[in-house]
Amino acid sequence: MPLIDILDNRIFLAGMSAWVIGQLLKFPLDYLLNRRWRWGIILSPGGMPSSHSALVTATSLSIGLFEGFGTALFALSLAVAMIVIYDATGVRRQAGLHAQALNEIIQEFFSGKPISEKKLREVLGHTPVEVISGIILGVLIALLVWWIFPVK
Cβ distance 125 to 89 under 8 Å?
Answer: yes
Cβ distance 52 to 83 under 8 Å?
Answer: no
Structural domain includes residue 32: yes
Structural domain includes residue 38: yes
Mean pLDDT across 109-136: 69
Structural domain includes residue 95: no
Structural domain includes residue 103: no
Percent above pLDDT 70 for the chain: 84
Structural domain includes residue 115: no
pLDDT digits (tens, 9 = 90+) for 28-56: 888 888 888 888 777 777 777 888 899 99
Structural domain includes residue 36: yes
Give the ranges where 8-127 is alpha helix by DSSP (H): 10-34, 51-67, 72-89, 91-109
Count of structural domains within the chain: 1
Residue type, 134: G
Q: Which domain holds residue 141?
A: 2-90+125-148
More confident residue, 136 or 125: 136
pTM of structure: 0.72
- CB count within 10 Å of CB 98 equals 13
